Amino acid sequence: MVKGVQIYEGKAKKVFATDDPERLVVSYKDDATAFNGLKKGTIEGKGVINNRMSNALMRMLEKQGIPTHFEKELSERETLVKRVEIVPLEVIVRNISAGSFAQRYGVAEGIVFDAPTIEFSYKNDALGDPLINEYHALALKLASKEELETIKEYAFRINEALKKIWLSCGVTLVDFKLEFGRIFDGSIVLADEISPDTCRLWDSETKEKLDKDRFRRDLGGVEEAYREIMGRLEKNL
Ligand code: UDP
């Protein structure tokens, strides 16, 4: 595999072509943004941690029958992935109230739900990733009915698998965001990343935040939290 030209640079990752049209190289950066790009900063070592964590979790999910874009970790920051056409939906699963859910519905953070919830945002920076429902996603032709069913099934199965692994690390999985894509044959796979950038992870005992909320809310100890959460996962994988 030969790494080719950069084809995309996002907020936290760069993407490169390879000599194989069906494969790309993703390179994780230390750059952090929040509030739709309004807040910018650097979290030193984040790229290395997110690369390693996302790959470890996707390997685990693959073993449990969830298809992902993961192919091979190439280096500290770089991973070979399947080329996908991203379904322009942010798929958010929640076990406990926090963030925009708590704000939107005027409830406290930390309310444990009887059953997990799922919601979709339309991935569109210019519009600020507005919340949409499944009928809107169909009307906008963002995904087919069958694809939405597959995405929901995978998302809830991923939640169960992640809740379990994090519980063994003394960590509560509060909520997280997933992105899915279509590979060459049109089938749906998990894409993007699973990391402290995209999940809320609280220490089960102290409820201390071990995720990007430390950066979003200027809580300090951001790098330490990323290192702590990665260390716990590696001990329990
Ligand atoms: N999330 C994300 N990217 C986004 C928005 C949300 O990864 O653009 C993640 C976030 O880290 C959290 C979950 O999705 O784990 C739910 O986020 P929420 O809707 O509460 O939004 P926020 O409060 O982060 O704006």
Tell me how far apart the alpha carbons of residues 186 and 176 are, in angstroms, rounded to a whole number. Answer: 25
User: pLDDT (tens digit, 9 = 90+) per residue, 87-126?
Assistant: 999 999 999 999 999 999 999 999 999 999 999 999 999 9
Tokens 């009928």 belong to residue: 135
User: pLDDT (tens digit, 9 = 90+) per residue, 12-27?
Assistant: 999 999 999 999 999 9
The answer for residues whose C-beta is within 8 angstroms of residue 158's C-beta and 6 or more apart is 61, 66, 93, 178, 190
Class of domain 3-82 (CATH, top level): alpha beta
Three-class SS state of 237: coil
Q: How far is the CA of 232 from the centre of ligand 1 (A)?
A: 22
User: pLDDT (tens digit, 9 = 90+) per residue, 31-90?
Assistant: 999 999 999 999 999 999 999 999 999 999 999 999 999 999 999 999 999 999 999 999
pTM over cut 0.95: yes
Q: How far is the CA of 212 from the centre of ligand 1 (A)?
A: 9
* Residue among 143, 53, 47, 39 at smallest CA distance from 90: 143
Across the range 147-161, mean pLDDT stands at 99
Output the six-digit token pair for 180: 């899915």
Hey, what amino acid is at 168?
S
Q: How far is the CA of 9 from the centre of ligand 1 (A)?
A: 20
Tell me how far apart the alpha carbons of residues 171 and 177 are, in angstroms, rounded to a whole number. Answer: 17
* Mean predicted lDDT score pLDDT of the chain: 98
Which residue intervals of the chain bear CATH 3.30.470.20? 85-222
* CATH architecture designation of domain 85-222: 2-Layer Sandwich (3.30)
Q: What local confidence, expressed as pLDDT, does residue 1 receive?
A: 87
pLDDT band for position 144 (cuts 50, 70, 90): very high
